[in-house]
A and B are shown apart, each in its own frame.
Chain A
Amino acid sequence: MTDAGYDEWLDAVDDGEGFYLACPEGHGSLPPRRVCPHCGSADLDHADLPTAGTVETFTICYVGGPDFADEEPYATAIADFGDVRLTGVVRGVDPEEVTVGMPVEAAVGTNRTTGDDLLILRAR
């Protein structure tokens, strides 16, 4: 299955050219969008995703769905990247060692159960 907008975005992150959508009001969002989800502006431009983000909150998931059976336990976090936040599986550190405020970068990994591409937040 392809997802217009999302797959291109994930490829861009994988190529080190991550971006987000910015509206004239300064709101950030992630594709696919036709309008800004915060103000409704249809004037959306690509802006560079900052290289580094920081973990704002996280969980260590001991019971996942079938698609994550081979990942448990894993940490999922929401990280602040300036005008946008990203949700992803944290890699590059033990789940138990993830902390709020920890610096991360966005990258693409592989879901160990399904083999699909996966947004990951890699510890820096």
Chain B
Amino acid sequence: MTGVRVAGVGLTHFGRHPERTGRDLFGEAALAAREESGVDPEDIESINYGNFMGSLAERQGHQAPLMAEMAGLQCPATRYEEACASAGVAIREAVRAVRSGEADVMLAGGCERMTNLSTADVTEGLATAADELYEIRAGMTFPGAYALMARAYFESFGGEREDLAHVAVKNHDNALPNEYAQFHRAITVDEVLDAPMVSDPVGLLDACPVTDGASALVLVSDEYAEANGLDAPVSITGSGQGGDNLALHDREHLAVTPATERAAAEAYDDAGCAADDVDLVEVHDCFTIAEVLAIEGLGFYDHGEGIGAARRGETTATGDLPVNLSGGLKAKGHPVGATGGSQIAEMTRLLRGDHPNSDHVEDATVGVTHNAGGTVASAVVHVLEVDR
């Protein structure tokens, strides 16, 4: 089985782009990834494209061939949808295609346009990732769903809103030097605690923003990289995906995410590593509690221990296990269908040493990305390693 290398990454700025369409955003990211990779466009065999709610937001279904056009490519293109993990699965399937020998060069990523919708319409659009009969009709929103999980966490394991506020403060600090991030504003614990409540106990500054943006990666086989003399020191060495019941109330525990545990176990096994070997992570922190659930599900902390990690300084940029050096979804932004690709692009930059936060992890060799769909009914985990 061949190895898979990240030959190039492309990102748009994440933020509000009211004047731009999804096709324009993805075109920018795809061309950037193509240019950085140095591959001959004719060698790109397929596009795996992640998108969640384009049919609602832009009245544009069947987006994948459109995105191929925008990337200047005439090759098969397929859209992958797994809610907020859409790009994660798109990339995972591209990795599998290269490993199987079916393809030597793939373009994978995703895009979402969201800020053109009203807050109420975004809320409704995102809620479609929940169970329509039993959750949406019961007034569940996405902040509401994570609020239910946060309160269940406090009840089961302890912790308080102030612990979660430290997650938000940390991720805003990490986003400050990141040119692609939506927010370049440091915040304080008091500001998080005093922000308007969205869905108690989730406040406005516990939540990721509404974001437009796109991400793209060019993935190549080891053989292709060598034959073409590509400078591609980062490999995707592990990939895993886990699932769970869609509705929160059907889960065994309301503050534990077995889909993440299953995805991580598969990815670690695939890469031949363990949680202890990991130097840095990018996790799906759509809400502050989500980062806590993720670092526990990935095996870095026991249940109940993750909530204090940011407050104790363990997951800050200078801590033992930096989490979300990109700024995370919380501060970098969360264009849902693009996020999984953005995490791998950011991890690639961090490991290569050309990310503004790379100085914090100079000797890092192993990075992990974690992309979740809905209330973690889906999870995709990747292990990335860099040649040293």
Interface residues of A (CB under 8 A from B): 3, 6, 29-30, 37, 56-69, 71, 74, 76-78, 84-89, 100, 111, 116, 118-119
Contact = CB atoms under 8 A, between A and B. Distances in A.
A57 B140 CA distance: 13
B202 interface: yes
B254 A65 contact: no
Contacts of B123: 63-65
Contacts of B135: 87
Interface in B144-191: 144, 147-149, 151-152, 155
B245 to A, nearest CB: 6
A118 B137 contact: yes
Contact of B124 (A62, A67, A87, A111): A67
Given A56-B254, A69-B120, A78-B249, A62 B197 contact: yes
A87 B140 contact: yes
7 contacts: A60-B197, A61-B143, A63-B120, A65-B124, A65-B141, A78-B148, A116-B137
Contact of A66 (B121, B149, B245): B121
A76 B148 contact: yes
Nearest to A72: B139
A63 B249 contact: no
Contacts of B141: 61, 63-65
Interface string B113-127: 000000111011001
Q: Which 8 A-B pairs have the closest CB atoms?
A: A59-B147, A65-B124, A85-B249, A57-B152, A60-B200, A57-B151, A65-B123, A87-B138
Contact of B139 (A30, A68, A84, A86): A68
Contacts of A89: 138-139
B248 interface: yes
B119 A63 contact: yes
Given A29-B250, A66-B120, A89-B139, A61 B151 contact: no
Nearest to A114: B137
A19 B127 CA distance: 26
B140 A76 contact: yes
A26 B67 CA distance: 48
A3 B133 contact: yes
Interface in B266-307: none
B254 A59 contact: no
Given A30-B134, A85-B249, A87-B248, A64 B139 contact: yes
A59 B138 CA distance: 12
